[in-house]
Homo-oligomer: A and B are copies of this chain.
Amino acid sequence: MPKIVDHEKRRKQIAEATWRVILNLGMEGATVRNIAKEAGLSLGALRHYFSTQDELLVYAMDLVKEQATVRINEITKKDLPPKEMILSILLQMVPINEETMAEMEVWFAFIAHARHKEDIFNIKDDGVFNGIKKLVDSMEQYGLLRKELDIAVETERLYALIDGIALHALLEPKRVDKERIVRVLERHLDSICIG
């Protein structure tokens, strides 16, 4: 019987190998050769799954978005008090554990790499802005927000706060640890929410 390999599963394994290479060596080390080695594949086998390095990088980045989306959808199914749910959702977008730290590292390296290749990569759409926008909109719908707020300004402000603190947690994980992130986000939510 021939060996049956699930094509999509193998692509995921390769994407995960790509992350490990980026985590260890940075984007400069994320060559097709290094990724194939990390994934335990020949160059030819790797090319069977991804014909170019850019195609692989886009896929690896999409997987980051997908994972965060899955976690957030799980949270929305829980029966949590509104403010606690909002905080839990926001915490999926910042590095507070090994998994989210790795995602952030990959995201940062990817953005820097893709910056001057806008024809290949659509770096504007990382999903975070739309996620925050939906969140603020539903906070308003459920009557959680203070009355005098400008929704567009609050969306932009929360989006900047989240990406800023995510960046600082990546660059200075000792000072900007989970406890500190939670305190800052709680303070921010208190300042825009009723009660």
Shortest A47–chain B CB gap in Å is 22
CA gap between A123 and B180 in the complex, in Å: 21
Picked from B112, B123, B156, B168, the residue with its CB within 8 Å of the CB of A112 is B112
Q: Is A135 an interface residue (CB 8 A)?
A: no
Q: Is A161 an interface residue (CB 8 A)?
A: yes
Binding site of A, secondary structure by majority: helix, strand, loop or mixed? helix
Known: A25-B116, A26-B115, A150-B187. A168 touches B163 (CB 8 A): yes
Do the beta carbons of A187 and B157 come within 8 Å of each other?
A: yes
Q: Is A62 an interface residue (CB 8 A)?
A: no
Do the beta carbons of B171 and A111 come within 8 Å of each other?
A: yes
- Chain A residues 72 to 90 lying within 8 A of chain B, measured CB to CB, are none
Do the beta carbons of A26 and B109 come within 8 Å of each other?
A: no
- Chain A residues 152 to 195 lying within 8 A of chain B, measured CB to CB, are 153-154, 156-157, 159-165, 167-168, 171-172, 176, 180, 183-184, 187-188, 191
CA gap between A127 and B183 in the complex, in Å: 23
